């Protein structure tokens, strides 16, 4: 693994289903982030974690939860998916100055 | 609300021309960063300018910062078709907040 890995790369999901987007980094960065990107709205921060064991809410946290059990992993869970959560999701980690992004997960909720 | 706002939203130029895009922000900053996003991919960090710097160069990129006007500009000189992408500015306010980006198209 080099950098940040997201999985899956794409997913079609029925509304009401539970889904976890995975994010793993191998750079030992303390800070990690989840963004969603929608046309016309740019990148919006969902949740973040400044260090293992801590998480915080971003701009659009409703309907999402995260956990940070260790430094490397930062999964994002949709407990009961809704169509408005159709988006491209990006995970990122930070070396305190700059962000390093994963390749994204395209999620469609039908 | 977004901390960084890019202008214009879209820009189309011919290969070899220069491209200039602007960013305005709302609060005091320690630094401002520019990122590039190729279609369907994650953002890639281009350049960081600190609040005590007025101009910074990196290859064909030139970034300026005017803290009195709370604005920054990114100039790409001698553009190439491979520069076609969306460009975002971001300012750290505890957590990095992005604007909506400028979509640049460079025609061969």
The pLDDT tens digits of the residues spanning A64-88 come to 999 999 999 999 999 999 999 999 9
Which residue ranges of chain B lie beneath pLDDT 50?
A: 1-2
Q: Is A10 on the interface with B (CB under 8 A)?
A: no
pLDDT of residue B1: 41
pLDDT in tens, B4-14: 678 888 999 99
What residues contact B86, with CB distance under 8 A and at least 6 apart?
B36, B37, B39, B101, B102, B103, B104
User: Which of A106, A93, A40 has the alpha carbon at shortest distance from B40?
Assistant: A106
How far apart CA B31 and CA B77 sit, in angstroms, is 23
Which residues, 6+ apart, have CB-to-CB distance to A2 below 8 Å? A26
Q: Which residues of A touch B90 (CB under 8 A)?
A: 99
Let me know if A101 is exposed, middle or buried by CB neighbors in 10 A (0-12, 13-18, 19+).
buried
Instruction: Tell me the Ramachandran region of residue A95: left when phi exceeds 0, alpha when psi lies from -120 to 50, beta otherwise.
Output: alpha
Exposed/middle/buried for B34, CB within 10 Å: 0-12, 13-18, 19+? buried
Chains A, B: CB contacts under 8 A, how many?
50
Q: How confident is the model at residue A19 (pLDDT cuts 50, 70, 90)?
A: very high
pLDDT at A94 over 90: no
The verdict on a CB contact (< 8 Å) between B48 and A98 is yes
Residue A82 is predicted with a pLDDT of 98
Q: Give the minimum alpha-carbon distance from B15 to chain A in angstroms, rounded to a whole number.
A: 26
- Which pLDDT belongs to residue B96? 64
Tell me the pLDDT tens digit for each residue of A22-63.
999 999 999 999 999 998 778 889 999 999 999 999 989 999
Q: Which of residues 29-68 of A touch B (CB under 8 A)?
A: 33, 35, 40-43, 45, 48, 56, 58-59
Strand pairing category for A64-66 and A76-78: antiparallel
């Amino acid at each position: 693994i080099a950098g940040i890995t997201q999985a899956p790369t794409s997913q079609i999901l029925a509304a009401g289903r539970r889904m976890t987007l995975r994010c793993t980094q191998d750079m030992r960065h303390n800070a990690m982030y989840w963004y969603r990107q929608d046309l016309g709205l740019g990148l919006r921060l969902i949740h973040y974690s400044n260090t293992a064991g801590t998480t915080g809410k971003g701009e659009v946290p409703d309907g999402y939860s995260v956990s940070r059990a260790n430094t490397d992993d930062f999964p994002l869970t949709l407990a009961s998916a809704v169509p408005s959560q159709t988006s491209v999701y990006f995970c990122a980690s930070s070396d305190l100055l700059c962000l390093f992004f994963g390749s994204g997960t395209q999620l469609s909720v039908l | 609300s977004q901390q960084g706002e890019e202008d214009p939203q879209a820009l189309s130029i011919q290969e070899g021309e220069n491209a200039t895009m602007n960013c305005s922000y709302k609060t005091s900053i320690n630094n401002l960063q520019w990122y590039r996003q190729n279609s369907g991919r994650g953002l890639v960090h281009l350049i960081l300018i600190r609040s005590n710097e007025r101009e910074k160069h990196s290859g064909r990129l030139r970034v300026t910062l005017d803290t009195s006007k709370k604005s920054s500009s990114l100039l790409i000189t001698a553009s190439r078709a491979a520069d076609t992408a969306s460009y975002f500015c971001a300012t750290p306010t505890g957590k990095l907040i992005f604007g909506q980006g400028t979509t640049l198209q460079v025609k061969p």
